Structure 1
Amino acid sequence: MNYTYQLRNHTMKLYFMPAVLLSMLIITSHTYSAEYRFVELGTFGGTTSNAYDINDFGQVAGLARTAEGYNHAFAYNSDIMTDLGTFGGTTSMAIGTNNSGKIVGYALTTEGYQQALLYESGTKTNLGTLGSHTSTAAAINNSGQIIGSSNTTDAAASSHAFLYYSGTMNDIGTLGGLTSLGYTISYANDINNNGQIVGYSLATIGQYHAYVYQGGTMSDLGTLGGNTSIAKAINDSGQIVGYSPNAGGNDRAFLYQGGIMSDLGTLGGTTSQAHNINSNGVIVGTSQTASGQTHAFLYDDGIMIDLNTFVDPSENFTLARATAINDNGDIVGYGINASGQTRGFILYNESNLNAVPEPATIILSLIGAVSLFIKRRMK
Structure 2
Amino acid sequence: MVSPRSLLTIATTTVVALTTVAPAPAAASPRTYRVVDLGTLSGGDGAATAMNDHGDIVGWSTVASGARHAVLWRHGVITDLGVLPGDTDSEAVDVNEFGDVAITSFGADYLTRAVLWRNGHLVDLGTLGGENSVAIGVNDRGQVLGTSDPAAEMSHRVLWRNGSVTDLGLQYFYEYTADVNNAGDVVGGWNVPPRDSPCTCVGGLLHRGVLTQIGSEAIGINNRGQVVGAANGRAFRWQNGTLTDLGTLGGGWSRATAINDRGDVVGESTTTAQWRPFLWRDGVLIDLTTRGVLETDVIEDINVRGRLVGARVNRPVLFR
Q: Does 1:346 align with 2:315?
A: no
Name the SS for the 2:61 alignment partner: strand
Q: Deviations over 1:294-351 (max 9, x none)?
A: 4321111222212232228xxxx65522211111111112233xxxxx2222112xxx
| CA shift digits 1:210-266 (9 cap, x unpaired) | 221112223332x3xxxxx3322111221101234x2xxxx4322222324343232
* 1:174-323 equivalences in 2 (<5 Å): 186-203=175-192, 204-205=195-196, 206-221=199-214, 223=215, 229-244=216-231, 246=232, 251-292=233-274, 294-311=275-292, 318=295, 320-323=297-300
d(CA) in 1 for partners of 2:295 and 2:42?
21
More helix per residue: 1
Per-residue deviation at 1:106? 0.3
Matched position secondary structure for 1:327: coil
Q: Counterpart of 1:53 in structure 2: which amino acid?
A: A
Residue 331 (structure 1) aligns with: 308
Does 1:158 pair with 2:151? no
The match for 1:354 is none
In structure 2, the CA distance between the partners of 1:271 and 1:81, relative to structure 1 (3 Å rule), is farther
User: What SS does the aligned partner of 1:268 have?
Assistant: coil
Find the counterpart in structure 2 of residue 169 from structure 1. Answer: 165
Contact map agreement 1:330 1:347 (CA 8 A) in 2 = yes
The equivalent residue for 2:130 is 132
The aligned residue for residue 83 of structure 1 is: 80
Q: CA RMSD in A?
A: 2.4
Displacement of 1:89 in angstroms is: 1.6
Question: Where does residue 114 of structure 1 map in the other structure?
Answer: 112
Partner Cα separation in structure 1 for residue 110 and residue 87 of structure 2? 6
SS at match of 2:290: helix
| AA of the residue aligned to 2:268 | T
SS in 2 for 1:308: helix
After TM superposition, the score normalised by the length of structure 1 is 0.70
4+ runs deviating over 4 angstroms: 183-186
Aligned to 1:3: none
Q: How many residues are aligned here?
A: 293
Gap runs ≥5 in structure 1: 1-8, 11-27, 178-182, 224-228, 337-341, 349-379
Q: Percent identity?
A: 34
Cα distance in 1 between the residues matched to 2:291 and 2:74: 22
Distance in 1 between residues matched to 2:273 and 2:303, nearest whole Å: 30
Distance in 1 (CA, whole Å) between partners of 2:129 and 2:271 is: 44
Does structure 2 retain, via aligned residues, the 8 Å contact 1:163–1:171?
yes
CA deviations 1:90-117 (Å, max 9, x no partner) are 2111000001111002002466521101
Q: Does residue 1:55 correspond to 2:52, yes or no?
A: yes
Q: What CA distance in whole angstroms lies between the structure 1 residues aligned with 2:289 and 2:316?
A: 14
- TM-superposition CA deviations, 1:8-64 (whole Å, max 9, x none): x86xxxxxxxxxxxxxxxxx6852333543212333336422211100111101112
Higher relative contact order (CA 8 A, sep 6+): 2
- Paired with 1:318 and 1:30, the residues of 2 have a C-alpha distance of 22
Over 3 Å counting, the alpha-carbon distance change for 1:330 and 1:102 in structure 2 is same
Q: 1:147 aligns with which of 145, 164, 181?
A: 145
Aligned counterparts of 1:273 and 1:106: Cα–Cα separation in 2: 26
Rate the CA distance shift 1:308–1:141 in 2: closer, same or farther, 3 A: same
Computing the radius of gyration over CA atoms, which structure comes out larger, 1 or 2?
A: 1
Cα distance, 1:185 vs. partner?
A: 6.9
Following superposition, the deviation at residue 184 of structure 1 comes to: 6.1
Letter in 1 for 2:224: S
Conserved in 2, the CA contact under 8 Å of 1:161 and 1:186?
Answer: no
- In structure 2, do the counterparts of structure 1 residues 300 and 72 end up closer, same or farther at CA, with 3 Å as the change threshold? same
Partner-residue secondary structure (3-state), 2:130: coil
Return 5+ residue gaps in structure 2 as ranges.
Answer: 1-22
